[in-house]
Copies of this chain bind each other. A is one copy, B any other.
């Protein structure tokens, strides 16, 4: 099967290449980059030297539609929607890694991201979290790959929300992310000298991944879920840790909460539940598609604490995109995603 990657010279593009180049069922036929068109892949990413012989091209939607079967779009939000619409029209399967098709409500999209050029596609797009929408993804032509923070957070809270075990409001999510989440475009905010040996919050109670989490968790419970979301920037390359706090309904214990997670995720290939009292670390999922989860009910405060860890570039972006492609194409779901976490 022939694969095209639109916007392949950023970090999620690089990570798609890393995973797909060893995938037994696909061939990477096409990779675009406006910045590096004409350059060989191994000039832009020397880590691929001797592994993949490929040249970045300029984006040309007709060519893509002609030459490839499945398309990954790894463009910034706003730049993705038009090329996605064209590929969909040509009958191609698309996994879009931007935010352009994640929100169901066009007005909500506009408030956070700007004008949408093809709102009619919003209802057609399937939100690409396999642990929730596996069946829908099987039949989808367009998958909206979730954001990194929403992946970590929705997986942490879904079992409790679905089981009515926590109050849907008053939820606090204190999240921490490595710097690769900010992308590969040079800016003052992601310079080594501005980030290393530092630690800070940003977009406090005002991050555009929040409506995405609320949408999906509300759909799980039928009630409006409200989250206070505070992300922090941490000087590591890869990793998100999402520390979630919610009011436990009465009679919830750590044991019962753990059972709910076990029931919900027991057969999931990429979710690992830690034993009681243990909490995850990003280094133990780095480079892999795992989401590690630890849960505890604190009797004193009546809060449930769930902590999730993912690699933001894998389960939080490109790994999950390949997982979605596998489901869409009828391949084994874990194919190409067998990487063991790299520690140290």
Contacts and interface: CB of A to CB of B under 8 A. Distances in A.
Interface stretch (A98-106, A120-128, A192-200): A192-200
B280 A200 contact: yes
Nearest to A296: B204
A201 interface: yes
Counted per complex, copies of this chain come to: 4
Given A338-B22, A340-B21, A281 B230 contact: no
Interface string A231-244: 01011111101010
A186 interface: yes
Interface stretch (A55-63, A74-82, A168-176): A168-176
Interface stretch (A26-34, A44-52, A136-144, A156-164): A44-52
Interface in A107-154: none
Contacts of A18: 340, 342
Q: Which of A170, A197, A284, A341 has the most CB of B within 10 A?
A: A197
Contacts of A205: 296, 298, 300-301, 305
B283 A47 contact: yes
Contacts of A196: 179, 192, 196-197, 235-237, 344
Give the interface size class of chain A: 35 or more
A328 B96 CA distance: 46
Contacts of A174: 174, 243, 245
A318 interface: no
A312 to B, nearest CB: 11
A304 to B, nearest CB: 11
A282 interface: yes
Interface stretch (A215-223, A256-264, A285-293, A319-327): A285-293
A232 B47 contact: no
B235 A281 contact: no
20 contacts: A11-B344, A22-B338, A46-B274, A50-B290, A170-B301, A172-B245, A172-B303, A176-B176, A186-B188, A190-B193, A193-B344, A194-B344, A196-B235, A197-B239, A199-B241, A199-B309, A200-B282, A201-B307, A228-B300, A238-B344
Given A47-B284, A193-B344, 17 more contacts: A46-B281, A47-B285, A48-B340, A179-B196, A184-B188, A186-B186, A192-B196, A192-B237, A196-B236, A199-B281, A200-B241, A201-B279, A205-B301, A226-B301, A228-B301, A245-B245, A342-B342
